[in-house]
Structure 1
Amino acid sequence: MDIITINKHNINTENICCAISDKKGESCVSSKKQWMTEHFDDGLVFKKLNVRGKVFIEYIPAENAWCPVNAPGYMFINCFWVSGQYKGQGYANKLLGECINDAKLQDKKGLVILSSKKKMPFLSDPKHLKYKGFEICDIVEPYYELLYLPIEKNVEKPKFKECCTKGIIDDKGMVLYYSNQCPHTEKYAPLVAEIAKARGVDFALIKYESKERAQNAPAPFTTYSLFYDGKFVTNEVLSEKKFTNFLADKGL
């Protein structure tokens, strides 16, 4: 099957397979497409298998990545996803190969990606990445791993910025940082804020609108990071039910 590259010329006619949805989710899809359109000129690349399924890779020069990392000269993978019936058919190798080839053409030092100690929602599978040759170059609490795949020899390893190494903030109550890098956040971030407000919970919703702010974030995953009383809680984009359960666990 063919690999399609999404760009500013075809983004309005092609589906972005991480956001297949019915009409109820159109605002989520449009928010992601708008985010992508704004960053194509920064070197953003989105490639997908020519199917209506979650088979894609998205990457950008690390200098323009919405992640607090120091990785000059690397290509940063925002998201890499092969799901369901498309697993085990070589599509992951094909998509990763596309990214590696682009990195080589741009004389990059290698690839870098945010992952975790074990498989976590909305983060790439560390087991699969390490099988493909990625190595750990840095870690921060509670579970984040920065993985890299060098192309050149003896290159400096990427590192997390100091701002995200402690997993704490000064603010009390609940604080949710998010961006439109994922199509699901535009729906669920405001939704959980409304639920918290209805229950009288102190809740702040902070949206990253620029790479500069995202690159100085208090947590590595700038798509969605929830804090409670100053401590990092989760990077998972919580549904209404999961957030309600979380509040119940906290007695709220």
Structure 2
Amino acid sequence: MENLIEVNGDTIDREHVCCAISDKKSAQAKKEWMKRCFPDGYQFWKANAQGKALIEFVPAENAWAPIHADGYLFIDCFWVAGSLAKKGYGTALLKLCSETAAKMGKKGLVAISADKKRPFLSDPAFYKKGGFRTADIAPPFFELLHLPFDENADIPKFRENAKRGTAAQQGVTVCYTDHCPWTAKYIPLLEKIAEERKASVCFQKINTKEEAQDAPSPFTTFSVYYNGIFVTNEIFSGKKFIGFLEEKGF
């Protein structure tokens, strides 16, 4: 499909890079994160259309995710808006990713999804329709999917820290990165809510790929823990966060 464009170091300052947020301030943190990742082989492609469809990928060794998948190309984010659904954009973006991996001599593709369609994770049904298989699982519902180009290729795995699914801290802990503009928009709001309610919430920003690879959950963009146990990867709105705090007695 010709209607795909790459966002790179030369074009990033003028291109939109978010799936659903138009706020330029929230997207700026994502753009700065992308600029740091470009030297690691990170690529961002999107539909040149009225609507949003995008795919992000990087050599798995440089993924901001707790996986062992050396030699694979890691799909960091893959999203197609409803307005562009069933128009071939998802298929075209995945094909581009696969062709890029083949040209790079990669073993195949790898992505993090779940047991079913869940918020902020790509639909596993679409991946599996394209030939992806489950390589590994991590609690409570994460799946590591892979599409090997050779049946003898090594099978990717989650790192042990992700398979434990627990954090060391007690109380409420929110871990996040600048990978998604949603965190730039909502983390300040959640911090303000926690302060106003005098709730003891630890906000931990993941600043490097090494920290992300040591994370206690596969989804490093945003994860919430309570007394060390994973709660959700869904980025809280203010209303949902207040409900969560009240449920925990704050």
Structure 1 counterpart of 2:38: 40
Deviations 1:151-198 (A, max 9, x none): 123111100001111211221111111001111101212321221222
For the pair 1:123 / 2:126, whether they are aligned, the reply is no
In the superposition, the TM-score normalised over structure 1's length comes to: 0.96
Q: Secondary structure of 1:18's match?
A: coil
Q: 1:97: how far off? A: 0.5
Q: 1:200: how far off? A: 1.7
Are the equivalent residues in 1 in contact too, given 2:72–2:107 (CA < 8 A)?
yes
Q: Partner letter of residue 113 of structure 1?
A: A
Deviates more, 1:194-203 or 1:39-48: 194-203
For residues 243 and 172 of structure 2, the distance between their equivalents in structure 1, rounded to whole angstroms, comes to 15
Q: Select the residue among 136, 141, 165 that pairs with 1:138.
A: 136
Structure 2 counterpart of 1:2: 3
Q: Secondary structure of 1:127's match?
A: helix
Gaps of 5+ in 2: none
Q: Secondary structure of 1:35's match?
A: helix
Mapping 1:153-172, distance limit 5 Å: 153-172=151-170
Q: Secondary structure of 1:133's match?
A: coil
Deviations 1:8-64 (A, max 9, x none): 00111111242541xxx3221100111111111110110001024220100000000
Q: Secondary structure of 2:153's match?
A: coil
For residues 200 and 236 of structure 1, the distance between their equivalents in structure 2, rounded to whole angstroms, comes to 23
In the superposition, the TM-score normalised over structure 2's length comes to: 0.96
For residues 141 and 20 of structure 1, the distance between their equivalents in structure 2, rounded to whole angstroms, comes to 29
Mapping 1:136-215, distance limit 5 Å: 136-215=134-213
Structure 2 counterpart of 1:234: 232
For the pair 1:12 / 2:13, whether they are aligned, the reply is yes
Are the equivalent residues in 2 in contact too, given 1:45–1:60 (CA < 8 A)?
yes
Provide the alpha-carbon RMSD of the alignment: 1.2
**Count of matched residue pairs:** 249
Gaps of 5+ in 1: none
Structure 1 counterpart of 2:220: 222
Structure 2 counterpart of 1:58: 56
Are the equivalent residues in 2 in contact too, given 1:169–1:231 (CA < 8 A)?
yes
Q: Partner letter of residue 192 of structure 2?
A: E
Q: Select the residue among 103, 106, 112 that pairs with 1:105.
A: 103
Q: 1:199: how far off? A: 1.2
For residues 232 and 39 of structure 2, the distance between their equivalents in structure 1, rounded to whole angstroms, comes to 31
Are the equivalent residues in 1 in contact too, given 2:18–2:27 (CA < 8 A)?
no
Mapping 1:76-91, distance limit 5 Å: 76-91=74-89
Are the equivalent residues in 2 in contact too, given 1:17–1:48 (CA < 8 A)?
no
Q: Secondary structure of 1:100's match?
A: helix
For residues 233 and 184 of structure 1, the distance between their equivalents in structure 2, rounded to whole angstroms, comes to 18
Deviates more, 1:181-190 or 1:116-125: 181-190
For residues 212 and 191 of structure 1, the distance between their equivalents in structure 2, rounded to whole angstroms, comes to 27
